[in-house]
Amino acid sequence: MHIAIKTSLKDITPYQQGQGEIEGVAEPIKLSSNELPYPPSPAAVAAFHATEVDLARYPDGNQTALRQAIAKLHSIPQANIFAGNGSEEAIGLVIRSMLTQGNNMIVSQNSFMMAEIYARSIGVDVIKCAETDHRVDIDNMLAAVNEHTRMVYICSPNNPTGTYTNIDELKRLEASLDEHIILLVDAAYAEFVTQSDYDSGLKSLFKPDGRVVVTRTFSKAYGLAALRIGWAAAPNPVIEAVSRLRTPFNTNSAALNAATAALLDQDYLNQTVTKVNTTRNQFSDQLQALGLTLVPSEANFVLITFAAGGQQAQSLNQALQQAGILGRPVSGDSNEFRISIGTEEEMTYTIQVIKLWVEQTFSENN
């Protein structure tokens, strides 16, 4: 008997998550998955534990309390919100419900790989557009649009670069697309952005009768990665299509309860984000003082870039792992290295290791 894998999956490489273990190291410092280094809101923790009294009951398939809280915070209609098993599932539901074989989806050179995987798995062509200075190039994306394009997918801030697309550029992109093309904005890192010209699209572009979809997550700034909970704001036709595909209970009660409580505790969120951003900025300054080149980041990670064709990213990775630290070399031959922002103590130790590596590596090359 021979059971064949379907054609649209044959050329897809499985998503590679950030490494979580180092052989021989009991508790490595994990800076590989852009996780929050601090616990979530105490209110979220309490809501999580309170779920135990309802473990015999199905979760609220309508996700009512969470959708109400999101609608109030962001001033968008509750009817245009749905939650998912992380924003990853929300992205997948939108792609799978709105695209079909023969369509294409435009993405930037750097973006969340699962969006590409979802599209290609249903026979959708994915067109990648080159970036300029590690930033999404709107002109390149618009130039790639053709008669088969049904979706443009953009991450802002982007991963692994940490750069963002300002609202004027996002508006220009949306206004230049034919009316049948969906613009999907993945804003997983939105809470960390401090620039005044940033908008994920929720304020300036989203309309119930429009074509802009915005996805957000509780995995990053809210610190609920283990619960896998995210959401999307989507126009009416997308909501209708997703409702035909979404499973009845795609989000669990513990996640829904904790996310709702976390969302209502904006003071805690703001305090945590400030701590992460302060540490990120200090760490960035220290890296640059060592002569390393960084991409300016508005997320909870930084990207170190080295000259193309070299092996410095892999060398740095080895040095960090020997010291019990996990970062993430960027896939391919880009010679770039991404480091998530941990606690102040973790980053102090990390910069000490990197400083020693810089001294050893670049003195050897002189």
Return the pLDDT at 139.
Answer: 98
186-215 pLDDT, tens digit each: 999 999 999 999 999 999 999 999 999 999
Q: For the sheet with 149-155, list strands across it.
A: 81-84, 230-233, 212-217, 182-186, 149-155, 104-108, 125-129
Parts of the chain with a pLDDT under 50 = none
Closest CA to 341 of 284, 290, 276, 297: 276
Direct distance between the N- and C-terminal alpha carbons of the chain, in angstroms, rounded to an integer: 61
Return the pLDDT at 16.
Answer: 74
Return the pLDDT at 366.
Answer: 53
13-50 pLDDT, tens digit each: 776 776 777 777 788 999 999 999 999 999 999 999 99
Fold of 17-39+267-364: Aspartate Aminotransferase, domain 1 (3.90.1150)
Beta pairing class for 293-295 and 301-305? antiparallel
Give the architecture (CATH level 2) of 42-264. 3-Layer(aba) Sandwich (3.40)
Return the pLDDT at 224.
Answer: 98
Separation CA 221–CA 192 (nearest Å): 7
Return the pLDDT at 364.
Answer: 59
What are the structural domain ranges in the chain?
17-39+267-364, 42-264
